[in-house]
Chain A
Amino acid sequence: MEAFIHVANVLYLFSYLVRDILWLRILTVIAASCLIPFFYSRPEPLMAPIYWNLLFTGINLVQIYILLLERKPVQLNEEEQQLYRMVFRALKPREMLKLLKLATWTTETSGQRIIEQDATLNNLMVVYSGNASVQVGEKEVAKLKDGQFMGEMSYLTDSKTNASVVAQTPLRYVSWSKDQLRNFLGRNPDLRATLQMILGVDLVAKVNA
């Protein structure tokens, strides 16, 4: 029984040497499992340290489960993968997956009006494939292509659209409800900051075009 205390401490020693948090927690759980029989085998079983170690082991097991879930490979289909590479490289794959769960994919035919001028827009959109024309009145002021956002000004300023967008070719795009997206980003501040940066880069490209 004395061997258990030595085994436990050697395991704690290794847990302090590893850098991976998952390994650290696994080694700690095994070490705690060795300590419990040692404390129980005392002339008077030491129940207080046993209960504490059971609690720590329980917490570590839950954290290990969460870590394993987080490390599961993220599966994106071809379109999602392409969108990720084009626009959302700054996100982690798992963040992209969360964002895509809120997204709607739409395909419109050539000539279809995607956004009306002077309208309240409830969505933020990004072009996956195809070309679109940005028009103020009847005049074209810009063109949009793969990987560019639509409705981002309205999203950022909460004001009505100042231009309309018309598909010039079959247009496939991804859209998010503004309210849903804002709620989601409110719960994920890191993702909010990254998406803000992605939108900023898109704006800079358009302003300098």
Chain B
Amino acid sequence: MSAMSRPVIGRQPPLELAEAEVLKPDGTYVRLSDLWAGSPSLLIFLRHFGCMGCSQHVNELTPRLLELHRLGLRTIFVGNGEPRYIDGFIERHALQDKKVEIVTDPSLQAFTAMHLVRSWWATLGPRALLGFVRAFFAGHRQTWLMGDGSQQGGSLLVNGNGDVAYYYCNSNLGDRAPTVEVVDVALRLLLRHGKSLA
């Protein structure tokens, strides 16, 4: 695994990312690489747990989660607030039965290893405000700050061999990997790794 570099498609994720430790809801630590080991995995790095933009992102992904799980994809949401915010996040987004694992990285070591943007301009600048307005018109509401407000999110898809299949770094609050693009890549790698189908 290469060090000090951003994830590159077709290669193993950077060492710092694989070794980054995140918190499970019960407060125990787990390495990210242990979460994606042995199975194609989609990691969605969120902003804080109360973020409106992330609420919209999760809302777009949720209808596909069970289907992707049944095809063999593990989905992991990585937040950056305290573990005590995770239960509320699950309840707000009705994720109880969606077969998704939620962890958090208050130290931001995983976010840094992913080379994700950390900037107040990305949270409060014009593009971010436009994203905020779009999310508001889509019916999403801002709760209070539940993590680092300047940290932006991203997406990482790791195939069954532990190589990066997709990487996206959100540029601001309203930016995210297009769901249809992520699912396209996920379906392709699941089919290549999965059973023979019709």
Residues of A within 8 A of B64 (CB): 197, 200
Contact residue range for chain B? 20 to 34
> For the complex, is A204 an interface residue (Cβ under 8 Å from B)?
yes
Residues of A within 8 A of B68 (CB): 200
| Complex contact B180–A193 (CB within 8 A) | yes
Contact B195 A207 (CB under 8 A): yes
Tell me if B187 and A156 are in contact (CB < 8 A): yes
Chain A's nearest CB lies how many Å from the CB of B7? 22
The answer to whether B184 has its CB under 8 Å from any CB of chain A is yes
Is A201 at the interface (CB under 8 A from chain B)? Answer: yes
Q: Kindly state the separation between the CA atoms of A204 and B68 in the bound complex, as whole angstroms.
A: 8
- A157 contacts B180, C-beta separation under 8 Å: no
Q: Which residues of B contact A142 (CB under 8 A)?
A: 197-198
Interface residues on A, range: 20 to 34
Identity of the chain A residue whose Cβ is nearest the Cβ of B72 in the assembled complex: A207
In the complex, chain A residues 108-164 whose Cβ is within 8 Å of any chain B Cβ? 134, 136, 141-142, 144, 148-150, 152-153, 156-159, 162-163
Query: In the complex the two chains form, what is the Cα distance from A193 to B61 in whole Å?
Result: 11
7 contacting pairs across A/B (C-beta < 8 A) = A134-B198, A144-B198, A148-B198, A150-B198, A162-B196, A163-B198, A200-B67
Binding site for A on B (CB under 8 A): 63-64, 67-68, 70-72, 179-180, 183-184, 187-188, 191-192, 194-198
A197 touches B198 (CB 8 A): no
Q: Which of A136, A192, A203, A208 has the most CB of B within 10 A?
A: A203
A123-B198 Cα distance, complex, nearest whole Å: 14
Bound Cα distance A163, B195 (Å):
12
CB distance from A137 to the nearest CB of B (A): 11
User: Considering the complex, which residues of chain A in the window 48-79 have a beta carbon less than 8 Å from any beta carbon of chain B?
Assistant: none
Tell me the nearest residue of chain B to A150, going by C-beta: B198
- Residues from chain A with a CB closer than 8 A to the CB of B63 are 197
**Contact A203–B191 (Cβ < 8 Å):** yes
Interface residues of A in 144-201 (CB under 8 A from B): 144, 148-150, 152-153, 156-159, 162-163, 165, 189, 192-193, 196-197, 199-201
Which of the residues A134, A148, A150, A201 comes within 8 Å of B67, measured between beta carbons? A201
